Structure 1
Amino acid sequence: MKAAWYERNGAAAEVLQFGDRPTPEPGPGEVRIRLAYSGVNPSDVKSRAGSRPVSDLYIIPHSDGAGVIDQVGAGVDPARVGQRVWTWNAQYGRPLGTCAQYVALPENQAVFLPTRASMQEGACLGIPALTAYQAVELAEIEAGHVVLVIGGASAVNFYAAQMARERGARVICTVGSQAKADLLREAGFDELILYKEQDVAREVLKLTGSKGVNAIIDMDFSTSAALIEQGVLASHGQFVCFGSNDRGWIPVSFGALLPRSISLKFFLVYELTEKQRKVCVEGVNRLLEQGVLQHLSGPCFALEEIVAAHEAVESGKEVGKVLVHCE
């Protein structure tokens, strides 16, 4: 099969290769997927750059993708052959991901893709959609709540904003540019804060009549933690975070947390419990079947253009999920 891979960590142009690799065969309990698209996440390019040292002969990157099951292993219902699916954790804890014509995975990691969703949209799911759904779950969002979504035009939080809205919440988003604000307005979000130009805490308190929000869904704890002390979270508020640019010591005011019974919740989407994963997968598919999710598809590259695909993600200039066409 044709695939992209790397044998050592380093810059995209120095280590990524394209060519022929052995076509995988599904083992017991596995399915083989003929991939249409592979989705590139920031974590994929960070792993290739060195955040996860190469411990196998080679790594076929990317955890997200979409395609059609063409073979099944022992113990898997043969009726799954021909099923359209999307993947999760394809290259987490294993060397062979979705940046290839085929991937073999445990069958529960190949999730039925509703017919109203395209293959490109299926490849956008995985890490972003499951992260967003778990964040909204942990935020305990209910109808009538007010939610602050940090970076509403990011791949994850574009989904999170929609999921919170679907539950009946009023959603306020921060964005980094006017172009991203325009994108969110087109998606139906009008309460937007340009964090590079406006004071986020002051704007949130203005929008909420000084009451604050019931939840914050955050992608960078190192910059958003200060919002707690600034009174942005109302009493019994939920601060849910799945990332931070600074992975070291980040100060948080205990005096701002305890009197208002504020909860801090952190999670890593790769390590969801079986129960959490089931809730998230079923929840995402329910929203897909209902047709309520919009998707941020970014540029699409051919498989042999893998270097350009990784460099596009690393540039930080692209809005939406960068895809690789595998067929």
Structure 2
Amino acid sequence: MRAVVYRETGPSSVLDLVDREVPDPGPGEVRVRLARAGVNPTDWKFRAGMMSGHDEVTPGQDGAGVVDAVGDGVLGFAVEDRVWVFLAQHGRPYGTAAEHVVLPVERVVHLPVGASYDVGAALGVPAITAHRALTSGEDVDRLGPGALDGRTVLVAGGAGAVGNAAIQLARWAGATVVATVSSDEKGALAVAAGAHHTVNYTVGDTAAQVRAFAPEGVDLVVEVAPAENNDLDRAVTRVRGTVAIYANNGGDEMTLPVRETFAKNLRYQFVLLYTLGEDLLRAAAEDVSRALEDGAFAVGEAAGLPLHHLPLERTAEAHDLVESGAVGKVLVDVADW
């Protein structure tokens, strides 16, 4: 099989396209023949500085394709089942930038009828991260129609992949969604994803504009840049609100004024996909699949998430696109079916 690997950390030039034996699944594992692989910021960040003790690494956490072999003890999956996968390379040397990937059955999810491989490969890291952020507030454990009725969610960076997923999932669950963006073009993408309101944070008083849509304050903030938005988040959250932080864009440290913060009984939930419990991962996979079945989750320009397709041999360019901040979702076309 063809696979992209790196044997040392560094820039995208360390990636090589090689031939490898097709791996066999062990007990409790599934082998997937991939059509698409999703590229996430963690892929280039790991490649730039992390080998995790492996001599060779194939990057890629997310993908979609068909099952072509199952190991002993695997139930619920059969050859030719259409699936999406997540955390494929977490704790393992070989991820989804390859024609085949073997991974634990817990990381494999049935792809609903009618859902494309493009949308399947775009789930994983963004959608599960968004799900955990949206379920970290008060009295919300799962998502589904009505789960967020009467609540207002502020999504920072509404044109990003996680922001897009958060908007689509929050709207499906019944929330009123406000998204912050840096341009009118990104505002249009957030609206296409389902945001009810957008605020261009480069123009005017952002807190006042958010408050105009949520006079009592927002219930939850899905935050990508906590250091930069620290003061804004406290200003726009309601009493007993939640700030769910999934990235450190714009700064690695933040300082909280104790009295002002505890006076609101604010909750801060830090979200990192790789250390979530299995129960949270499974809940997210189930809820995201239900959103797909309901037609509430999509990709592409019409859904506010433009797609950038590159073939497997151009995986290095795909990494560079993500690292440079390309708007939308970068997918690697592993196969042409």
User: What TM-score results when the alignment is normalised by the length of structure 1?
Assistant: 0.94
Letter in 1 for 2:36: Y
Deviation per CA, 1:94-131: give whole Å up to 9, x if none: 11000000001111211111012101110000001111
1:218 to 211, 214, 223: 223
Tell me the equivalent position of 2:153.
Answer: 147
Tell me the equivalent position of 2:333.
Answer: 325
Shift of 1:208: 2.5
Structure 1 unaligned segments of length 5 or more: list them: none
SS of the residue corresponding to residue 258 of structure 1 reads helix
Tell me the equivalent position of 2:57.
Answer: 59
- For the pair 1:311 / 2:316, whether they are aligned, the reply is no
Structure 2 unaligned segments of length 5 or more: list them: 141-146, 300-304
Shift of 1:46: 0.7
Shift of 1:197: 2.3
Cα 1:277–1:78, aligned 2, differ >3 Å: closer, same or farther? Answer: closer
- For the pair 1:182 / 2:180, whether they are aligned, the reply is no
Tell me the equivalent position of 2:244.
Answer: 240
Tell me the equivalent position of 2:5.
Answer: 5
Contact 2:86–2:124 (CA under 8 A) maintained in structure 1: yes
Contact 1:116–1:291 (CA under 8 A) maintained in structure 2: no
Letter in 2 for 1:306: T
- Inter-partner Cα distance in structure 1 for 2:214 and 2:108: 42
- Inter-partner Cα distance in structure 2 for 1:152 and 1:252: 24
Contact 2:220–2:237 (CA under 8 A) maintained in structure 1: yes
- Inter-partner Cα distance in structure 2 for 1:43 and 1:79: 28
Shift of 1:196: 2.0
Contact 1:228–1:256 (CA under 8 A) maintained in structure 2: no
SS of the residue corresponding to residue 143 of structure 1 reads coil
1:171 to 171, 174, 177: 177
SS of the residue corresponding to residue 130 of structure 1 reads helix
Contact 2:168–2:194 (CA under 8 A) maintained in structure 1: no
- Inter-partner Cα distance in structure 2 for 1:297 and 1:6: 28
Give runs of ≥4 in structure 1 deviating > 4 Å: none
SS of the residue corresponding to residue 30 of structure 2 reads strand
Contact 2:154–2:178 (CA under 8 A) maintained in structure 1: yes
Tell me the equivalent position of 2:308.
Answer: 299
- Inter-partner Cα distance in structure 2 for 1:75 and 1:45: 34
Identity level (%): 39
Cα 1:265–1:302, aligned 2, differ >3 Å: closer, same or farther? Answer: same
Letter in 1 for 2:86: W
User: What TM-score results when the alignment is normalised by the length of structure 2?
Assistant: 0.91
- Inter-partner Cα distance in structure 1 for 2:332 and 2:77: 28
- Inter-partner Cα distance in structure 1 for 2:259 and 2:284: 34
Matches within 5 A, 1:195-210: 195-209=201-215
Contact 1:35–1:68 (CA under 8 A) maintained in structure 2: yes
Tell me the equivalent position of 1:284.
Answer: 288
SS of the residue corresponding to residue 64 of structure 2 reads strand
- Inter-partner Cα distance in structure 1 for 2:274 and 2:306: 22
Cα 1:198–1:43, aligned 2, differ >3 Å: closer, same or farther? Answer: farther
Shift of 1:226: 1.6
Tell me the equivalent position of 2:122.
Answer: 124
- Inter-partner Cα distance in structure 2 for 1:186 and 1:248: 31
Deviation per CA, 1:229-269: give whole Å up to 9, x if none: 4x211111111111113664310111221111111111211
- Inter-partner Cα distance in structure 1 for 2:35 and 2:7: 24
Cα root mean square deviation, aligned:
1.6
- Inter-partner Cα distance in structure 1 for 2:87 and 2:286: 16
Cα 1:58–1:69, aligned 2, differ >3 Å: closer, same or farther? Answer: same
Tell me the equivalent position of 1:25.
Answer: 24
Shift of 1:27: 0.7
Letter in 2 for 1:255: R
SS of the residue corresponding to residue 114 of structure 2 reads coil
SS of the residue corresponding to residue 279 of structure 2 reads helix
SS of the residue corresponding to residue 203 of structure 1 reads helix
Tell me the equivalent position of 2:37.
Answer: 38
Cα 1:78–1:144, aligned 2, differ >3 Å: closer, same or farther? Answer: closer
Q: How many residues align?
A: 322
